[in-house]
A and B are shown apart, each in its own frame.
Chain A
Amino acid sequence: EIVLTQSPGTLSLSPGERATLSCRASQSVSSTYLAWYQQKPGQAPRLLIYAASNRATGIPDRFSGSGSGTDFTLTISRLEPEDFAVYYCQQYGTSPFPFGPGTKVEIK
């Protein structure tokens, strides 16, 4: 079973700054099967990135994903006020399809 870890647990940044979030897998994950989601308080998660680097429909280009093997990264180039939220990675190539524990991006 693949286990995902995310770091840091919390990221304190100011609007306009760059955010770099990490997702590490316990075993190699095909980049075809790695997604990132954003969740704001009281809302359902929203798909940001699929297949490691492809933005979902309607996602601004300040969000980008990269990585391969066991190390994946979500980058937010310039934080907007609406980007402060919790971000989860998920692998969906090998069952079970776990999520990582999440990274909270908070306003500094």
Chain B
Amino acid sequence: EVQLVESGGGLVQPGGSLRLSCAASGFTFSRFALNWVRQAPGKGLEWVSTISHHGDTTHYAESVKGRFTISRDNSKNTLYLDMNSLRAEDTALYYCAKSDYEFLFYRALDFWGQGSLVTVST
């Protein structure tokens, strides 16, 4: 059974930093691109970032480019999102999601974690 478990969220002040982790199991982690998607309270889904299965290709939404960094450790089956210079508008539930076909970058998202809440506030 595929499982994605996010952690690392919490309350942080504007300008602060946070690292989210997503521990994966139930599939061959190193074969699939992975993604972060966020959802502000009461709002819709916003794609944040995607990383290829090898970790050598990354894409970001304009809203986070230069502030967030996606990475992965295939030996630990873990995906990361390093978030710097956090703003109030980054407050959201952050989901980790797996791409649906191995080795390909441009894919739909077939399994999602339950999310990790990040709150940016004084």
User: Could you tell me if A37 and B45 are in contact, using CB atoms closer than 8 angstroms?
Assistant: yes
User: Could you tell me if B59 and A99 are in contact, using CB atoms closer than 8 angstroms?
Assistant: no
User: Could you tell me if A56 and B110 are in contact, using CB atoms closer than 8 angstroms?
Assistant: yes
Select the residue from A44, A45, A57, A98 with max chain B CB neighbours within 10 A: A44
State the CA gap A101–B107 with chains docked (Å).
20
Query: Contacts of B46 on A, CB cut-off 8 Å?
Result: 98-99
Query: Contacts of A64 on B, CB cut-off 8 Å?
Result: none
Known: A56-B100, A88-B44, A102-B44. A96 touches B108 (CB 8 A): no
Contact bitstring A16-36, B, C-beta under 8 A = 1, else 0: 000000000000000001010
> Considering the complex, which residues of chain B in the window 30-66 have a beta carbon less than 8 Å from any beta carbon of chain A?
37, 44-47, 50, 59-62
Q: Which A residues have a C-beta under 8 Å from some C-beta of B?
A: 1, 33, 35, 37, 39, 44-47, 50-51, 56-57, 86, 88, 90, 92-93, 95-102
Q: Which B residues have a C-beta under 8 Å from some C-beta of A?
A: 37, 44-47, 50, 59-62, 95, 97, 100, 106-110, 112-115
List of 8 A-B pairs having minimum Cβ-Cβ separation, nearest first: A50-B108, A44-B112, A35-B108, A95-B59, A99-B45, A97-B47, A102-B44, A47-B110
